[in-house]
C-alpha cells in the first residue's frame, strides 16, 4: 500500500453546536464544508493549509480523551494560551517547552484533546 497524504483528521463530537462554537468562535477556524446528517448529526470541515480538520456527529461514534490528538500550529502561542485560559477551557497539559517547540493540550467540548503547538525558529 502507498499513501500520499493524510486526507483529513476528524473528531467525533456529542453536541455539534457547542463544538462549532469552540472551533469557530474560540479557535477562529473557518468552516469550508458543512454537511447535515440526520436529525442532529453532521460533518464540518476546516481547511488549515494543506490539511483538513473535521468534526462530526453520528450515532455510535463517540469522542475520547484517550484517543488520538491533532496539533494546531499557532501563529502566537502565548496569545492562544491566554485566550483559552480566559475562556475557561480545561487543560490536560499546561504549556511546556521542548527543544524544538512549545505546546499545551486542551479539551474540546466533547472531551477530545487538541494540541496547541508552536515550532521554534529553524524547526519544521
The span from the CA of 51 to the CA of 58, in Å, is 22
Q: What are phi and psi of 32, to 5 degrees?
A: -110, -15
Per-residue confidence (pLDDT) for residue 36, from 0 to 100: 86
The answer for 75, left when phi > 0, alpha when psi is -120 to 50, beta otherwise, is alpha
Total of domains in the chain: 1
Q: Which three cell numbers stand for residue 48?
A: 488549515
The span from the CA of 57 to the CA of 28, in Å, is 20
| Interior angle at CA 27, CA 88 and CA 79, nearest 5 | 70
Domain that holds residue 35: 9-119
Per-residue confidence (pLDDT) for residue 65, from 0 to 100: 86
CATH number for 37:
3.10.180.10
With cell 491566554, the residue in question is 82
Whether this model's pTM surpasses 0.85: yes
In a domain, residue 124? The reply is no
Whether the CB-CB separation of 58 and 36 falls below 8 Å is answered with no
Render each residue's pLDDT in the chain as its tens digit; 124 residues: 887 888 889 999 999 999 999 999 999 999 999 998 877 889 999 999 899 999 999 888 899 888 888 999 999 999 999 999 999 999 999 999 999 999 999 999 999 999 999 999 888 7
Amino acid at each position: 500500500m502507498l499513501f500520499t497524504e493524510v486526507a483529513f483528521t476528524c473528531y467525533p463530537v456529542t453536541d455539534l453546536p457547542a463544538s462549532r462554537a469552540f472551533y469557530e468562535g474560540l479557535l477562529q477556524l473557518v468552516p469550508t464544508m458543512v454537511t447535515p446528517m440526520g436529525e442532529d448529526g453532521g460533518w464540518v470541515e476546516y481547511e488549515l493549509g494543506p490539511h483538513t480538520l473535521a468534526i462530526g456527529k453520528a450515532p455510535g461514534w463517540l469522542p475520547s480523551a484517550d484517543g488520538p490528538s491533532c496539533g494546531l500550529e499557532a501563529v502566537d502561542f502565548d496569545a492562544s494560551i491566554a485566550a483559552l485560559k480566559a475562556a475557561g477551557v480545561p487543560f490536560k497539559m499546561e504549556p511546556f517547552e521542548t527543544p524544538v517547540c512549545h505546546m499545551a493540550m486542551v479539551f474540546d467540548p466533547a472531551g477530545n484533546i487538541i494540541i496547541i503547538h508552536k515550532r521554534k525558529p529553524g524547526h519544521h
